[in-house]
Amino acid sequence: MSTKLFGEPVQRREDPRLLTGQGRYVDDLGAGALEVAFVRSPHAHARIRDIDVSDALDVEGLVAIYTWEDLPTLLAQPLPLLIPHPALTHGRTAYPLARDVVRHVGEPVVMVVARDRYLAEDVCALIQVDYELLKPVVGVEEAAQSAQLVHEDVPDNVGAHLIQEVPSADGLDARELIETAPHTLTFRLDIERSASMPLEGRGVYARWDADDRSLRVYSSTQTSTSVRMAIAAKLGLPLPKVEVIAPDVGGGFGVKIVHPWPEEVLVPWAAMLLGHEVKWTEDRREHFVSSAHERAQVQFVRVGFDDDGRVLGLDVNILHDHGAYTPYGIIVPIITSTQLLGPYKIGAYRVEFSSIYTNTVQVTPYRGAGRPQGVFCMERTMDHIAEYLGADRTAVREINFIQPDEFPYDQGLIFQDGRPLIYDSGDYPESLRLLKELIGWDGFPALKAQAAAEGRRIGLGIGCYVEGTGVGPYEGGHVQITSDGRVHVSTGLTSQGQGHETVFAQIAAAELGVPMERVSVVTGDTRRFGYAVGTFASRAAVMSGNAIALACRKVREKALRIAAEALEADPRDLEIIDGEVRVVGSPGASIPLATVAVLSNPLRYAFDSETARATQFAGASSFDRPPVEAGEEPGLEGRDYYSPIRSTFASGMHAAIVETDSLTAEIRILRYAVVHDCGNLINPMIVEGQIHGGVAQGVGGALYERMVYDDHGQLLNASFMDFLMPYATEIPSIETAHLETPSPLNPLGIKGAGEAGVIPGSAVIASAIEDAEGIRIDKMPISPSELFDLRRAATG
């Protein structure tokens, strides 16, 4: 492979389109479609006694009103539980429209279809739902002790309970080792609820072709292939009669991987039933109360360690707030418990979690997916050990690091993909060295003393993580070179802003030896590629990147074979440069890939795109066209799949310097440094952009963002007026250094990068505030008023 494009900071080719308003999002489509609005539950827990639509029926422009009772049998079932797990003994999912009980504010109860959204909303306001109020269960600790049940048949509100244990090399368990350790610490950590907040909410637009009995659905989804399967199954249609397309998607951050959302099956169903285009666009309040949240965990930690800070035993007990339903299984607490150990090898580990139902919005993965909570746990542990021993925080980390010569390193756990959690490669001591250099770790005490002399409080924090990325089972790529020499690449997974059009074109151009301008990329369109898993778990680069590279290699081989015949050369003597197949060392002997594409098809036509005329090539008459040989396929195209034996593990370390105002307790980030290792970089500029976006979300999670529920299960801050997201002004410029330890598991040696930036945010900021203030920070996010209260409590 030519390395010219692979690894280059190529500008994102999608940006001119997206930044100048040329993007095509779901709501840009379907002018003239009927529009949908939902009556959603205003109560956190209630039984539906009656739904009275009589006042709504006379509204001019109303087309249809549907409740659960109107749904056909397949649609009237609960939505699928996507990732079952033996520990999830009481998995529960919602009905597309509530059947008899609503379990969180925002649950859809009635669907209204009208001429436009305004009318649909007016109709919703006239529908009377009679509710019998039930006592809501709010707060994970309250739920774990409450006699009140979210689901009548789920005792103690416990959906899942799982213990994983990794004994020490000599067979001792974590609790034994903690009991006998020279030092022990016990503490509690809290992380509040937050959520993905993509600029574009969810949205669905469906067209039914009654003659063809086929559906075309546009959805703002992270997985068009799975939405397609769900629609076909739920609406009783053959798969080939359903097409699902993810057009431009304005961010997903995890929430759009859930499938099908109720709206994704209800809107196409209405389109079929009404024989008319139908669409629904989520509004912001709906996104707050009707999609999904994450984070929300309470963790009880007990750790035993020696005089040097070496961890001998770690015992973590996690209460995970799962909200009302578990459509995505227990992936989040599984990731927390298995990824928590980060770059460290510890004596023995025990982790236990209980996944608890509450009458709040359901919890599914949000960028980082359980890792920010795990890293908060492990990194707080490292800081607390250092504080106890009076040791440098980096020294305690270093002594626990897995060393470069210990890879592959088996953590002895089972990862989210059901496979052993084995780290493939990394160099944690070198990452730390780079980070300390970047942030000026060793010089910080002098800076701090100087600031103190000026009456200012500054603190330095650190956070390290390892992140399983590129989760299987597979992804595919298709590559076609047409007779104009253009290269058409498609892969089934979707894009939400990660820059896939650019990086996949870089890979294809580098593999095929063609200029990048000749390569076009399509993602998330089941018409072009029908098999895919989706975009989550920082997997697109590893999975589709490698699949596209493999497909390119097939096409390249075929091109060389055909060209060798035409040039009367040995394929081994050929190279492809600038879209031309050349005989190495004979500059005159060459043939353009465009011509090879013509030769690859027995028809041997070349279409001139300017005159729209077909030209018969190389004197081939209609009588002497060669046959398609056995084992051969016409066309210069190829398809391949990449399916890894297990995930690959990226890693990184962040450091931040914060200043806390000595009067107001306002918290300001002065510097933020990142060392990141995602194996070989396809595009360093894109990876940096991903890190910057992630860090911004990490800062949001550490200092601003939280879902505030009252005791009635009402979300009090369900708008951007009250849910504080950081502006650009709150995000410091981010200093980044890359380390590249290639993954030995995949042909391109890459690991994922899409979530990395967000993962250690809370850990790093907590560490820095603690350093500035000398007060334990064990609960995030933290606001100035909370810091102020902590100060007061500390000084009595």
Question: 252 vs 713, which CB is nearer to ligand MCN?
Answer: 252
What's the CA gap between 367 and 697, in Å, rounded? 9
What's the CA gap between 187 and 299, in Å, rounded? 8
338, 683, 736, 762: which one binds ligand MCN (CB under 6 A): 683
Rounded alpha-carbon distances, angstroms, from residue 240 to 215, 220, 233, 766: 10, 21, 12, 52
752 touches ligand MCN (CB under 6 A) = yes
Write the CB contacts of 240 (distance below 8 Å, at least 6 apart in sequence).
Answer: none
189 within 8 A of 296, measured Cβ to Cβ: no
Place of tokens 């920070």: 777
Strand runs (DSSP E) across 526-635, as ranges?
A: 574-577, 580-583, 586-592, 605-608, 613-616
Q: What's the closest the beta carbon of residue 756 comes to ligand MCN, in angstroms?
A: 8
Q: What's the closest the beta carbon of residue 752 comes to ligand MCN, in angstroms?
A: 3
Listed in sequence order, the DSSP H helices in 36-166 are: 117-126, 140-145
What's the CA gap between 154 and 710, in Å, rounded? 23
What's the CA gap between 308 and 765, in Å, rounded? 25
Stretch near ligand MCN under the rule CB under 6 A, chosen from 341-349, 414-422, 564-572, 753-761: 753-761
Question: 496 vs 595, which CB is nearer to ligand MCN?
Answer: 496
258 touches ligand MCN (CB under 6 A) = no
Q: What's the closest the beta carbon of residue 673 comes to ligand MCN, in angstroms?
A: 20
754, 760, 761, 781: which one binds ligand MCN (CB under 6 A): 754
Question: 159 vs 534, which CB is nearer to ligand MCN?
Answer: 534
Contacts of ligand MCN in 477-536 (CB under 6 A): 496-500, 503, 535-536
195 touches ligand MCN (CB under 6 A) = no
What's the CA gap between 140 and 126, in Å, rounded? 35
136, 459, 693, 701: which one binds ligand MCN (CB under 6 A): 693
Residue nearest to ligand MCN (CB): 754
71, 346, 555, 678: which one binds ligand MCN (CB under 6 A): 678
Question: 106 vs 693, which CB is nearer to ligand MCN?
Answer: 693
681, 699, 759, 780: which one binds ligand MCN (CB under 6 A): 681
Q: What's the closest the beta carbon of residue 681 comes to ligand MCN, in angstroms?
A: 5
Stretch near ligand MCN under the rule CB under 6 A, chosen from 23-31, 629-637, 657-665, 749-757: 749-757
CA neighbor of 461 nearest in space, from 718, 770, 195: 770
**Binding string, residues 9-38; x marks residues near ligand MCN by CB under 6 A:** ------------------------------
783 within 8 A of 791, measured Cβ to Cβ: no
Which burial class, exposed, middle or buried, applies to 706 when counting CB atoms under 10 A from its CB (0-12, 13-18, 19+)? buried
757 touches ligand MCN (CB under 6 A) = no
230, 541, 695, 696: which one binds ligand MCN (CB under 6 A): 541
Instruction: Tell whether the torsion through CA atoms of 738, 743, 746 and 752 is positive or negative.
Output: negative
What's the CA gap between 721 and 725, in Å, rounded? 10
690, 736, 746, 762: which one binds ligand MCN (CB under 6 A): 690
682 touches ligand MCN (CB under 6 A) = yes
Stretch near ligand MCN under the rule CB under 6 A, chosen from 120-128, 339-347, 394-402, 681-689: 681-689
The tokens for 575 are 């190279």
Q: What's the closest the beta carbon of residue 373 comes to ligand MCN, in angstroms?
A: 15
What's the CA gap between 409 and 402, in Å, rounded? 8
Which burial class, exposed, middle or buried, applies to 189 when counting CB atoms under 10 A from its CB (0-12, 13-18, 19+)? buried
The tokens for 711 are 């005791």
45, 367, 384, 582: which one binds ligand MCN (CB under 6 A): 367
Question: 254 vs 323, which CB is nearer to ligand MCN?
Answer: 254
253 touches ligand MCN (CB under 6 A) = yes
Q: What's the closest the beta carbon of residue 694 comes to ligand MCN, in angstroms?
A: 7
676 within 8 A of 739, measured Cβ to Cβ: yes
Phi, psi of 95 (to 5 degrees): -80, 155
Question: 459 vs 652, which CB is nearer to ligand MCN?
Answer: 652
The tokens for 305 are 């360690």
Chain-centre distance for alpha carbon 651: 16
Kindly determine how many residues on this chain lie close enough to bind ligand MCN according to the rule CB under 6 A. 37
Q: What's the closest the beta carbon of residue 477 comes to ligand MCN, in angstroms?
A: 13
687 touches ligand MCN (CB under 6 A) = yes
CA neighbor of 700 nearest in space, from 640, 636, 755, 782: 782
Stretch near ligand MCN under the rule CB under 6 A, chosen from 27-35, 585-593, 684-692, 776-784: 684-692
What's the CA gap between 770 and 377, in Å, rounded? 15
746 touches ligand MCN (CB under 6 A) = no
Question: 249 vs 319, which CB is nearer to ligand MCN?
Answer: 249
Rounded alpha-carbon distances, angstroms, from residue 621 to 185, 593, 602, 618: 85, 22, 11, 9
Question: 647 vs 660, which CB is nearer to ligand MCN?
Answer: 647
Residue type, 769: I
Q: Where along the sequence are the contacts to ligand MCN (CB under 6 A)? A: 198, 251-254, 367, 469, 496-500, 503, 535-542, 678-683, 686-687, 690, 693, 750-755
